[in-house]
């Protein structure tokens, strides 16, 4: 096996993915890269390269330098941030994908992971148990770019035989990295504020139900789909993926079980419209049947784990 390159390694998912892959394959076999250096301890933990995902030559050079076989392309501008800069979001989210697809087409790399999102769905999509194949009319720049990326992944697989694999992440929640500009990031920030302030003002309404996943499950799913035999990956656009769904009110109630005096207020902003366009729950039966996906964390277990880790970090 050749080495693994993670592009966008300093982001919310990339940081934890890098750590887990280095545990599995050894730190020298997993090259982290980002457009700039992040946390010094993380950068020093193994091979690190400053790489602009939009620069084809830089990406190609690092792949050749380290004899890279697999690329995890985690660089992206997330939903709420992308709405503020649509042209750059489209450029980053799409052209970075073209670069790695074309390098795989040229047989410079063997396998690609590219993340999609529930943002590919839109207001006309069925909201309950959203199926794998359904109406997809995204209303955000992020969703439009992810839907387009799914089509290109499938095209490059069907026409050029590129081994590209993808999952549609729901909202992701992690104790080890701060929010990164996503509409679901309230579900990360709420734990930090519960411990530091004892209160939180949510930018979504109390009954906004969204699909969510604890980062431990998301990292495991990402690695498992890449480890699965190629013949088991029957969908080459992107797989639905799910673990749980909840509202801000419900997550607040679980926090109150640990911090009884915790209070929450609601002041919906422009992100409410984004959230309202997304599914409330996801049918991920194809992932469970094709490559045996199984989640491990529900809301109560996640809240307990989040508060334990954040409390120990604050000490």
Catalytic site residues?
A: 142
The Cα 18–Cα 36 span in angstroms is 16
Cβ–Cβ under 8 Å, residues 213 and 173? yes
Question: Which element (helix H / strand E) includes 182?
Answer: none
Cβ–Cβ under 8 Å, residues 106 and 157? no
The Cα 98–Cα 84 span in angstroms is 23
The Cα 235–Cα 290 span in angstroms is 9
Cβ–Cβ under 8 Å, residues 222 and 17? yes
Torsion of CA 266, 267, 269, 275, to 10 degrees: 10
What size, in residues, is the chain? Answer: 315
The Cα 171–Cα 70 span in angstroms is 25
Crossing angle of the two packed helices 248-256 and 186-196, in degrees rounded to 10: 30
The Cα 114–Cα 238 span in angstroms is 9
């Amino acid at each position: 096996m050749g080495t693994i390159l993670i592009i966008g390694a300093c982001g919310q998912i990339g940081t934890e993915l890098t750590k887990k892959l280095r545990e599995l394959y050894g730190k020298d076999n997993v090259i982290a890269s980002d457009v700039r250096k992040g946390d010094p301890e993380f950068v020093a933990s193994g091979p690190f390269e400053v790489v602009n995902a939009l620069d084809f030559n830089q990406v190609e050079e690092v792949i050749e330098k380290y004899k890279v076989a697999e690329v995890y392309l985690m660089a992206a501008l997330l939903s709420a941030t992308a709405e503020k800069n649509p042209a750059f979001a489209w450029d980053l989210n799409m052209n970075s994908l073209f670069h790695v697809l074309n390098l795989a087409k040229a047989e410079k790399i063997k396998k690609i992971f590219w993340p999609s999102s529930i943002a590919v769905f839109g207001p006309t999509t069925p909201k309950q148990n959203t199926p794998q194949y359904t109406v997809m009319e995204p209303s955000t720049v992020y969703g439009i770019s992810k839907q387009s990326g799914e089509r290109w992944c499938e095209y490059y697989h069907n026409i050029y035989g590129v081994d590209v694999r993808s999952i549609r992440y729901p909202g992701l929640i992690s104790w080890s990295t701060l929010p990164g500009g996503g509409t679901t990031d309230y579900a990360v920030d709420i734990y930090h504020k519960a411990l530091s302030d004892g209160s939180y003002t949510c930018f979504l309404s109390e009954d906004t139900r969204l699909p969510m996943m604890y980062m431990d499950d998301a990292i495991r799913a990402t690695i498992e789909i890449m480890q699965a035999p190629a013949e088991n990956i029957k969908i080459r656009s992107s797989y639905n993926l799910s673990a749980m769904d909840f509202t801000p009110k419900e997550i607040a109630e679980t926090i109150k079980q640990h911090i009884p005096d915790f209070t929450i207020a609601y002041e919906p902003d422009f992100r409410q419209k984004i959230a309202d366009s997304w599914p409330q729950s996801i049918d991920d039966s194809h992932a469970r049947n094709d490559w045996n996906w199984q989640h491990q964390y529900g809301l109560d277990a996640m809240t307990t784990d989040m508060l334990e880790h954040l409390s120990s970090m604050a000490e």
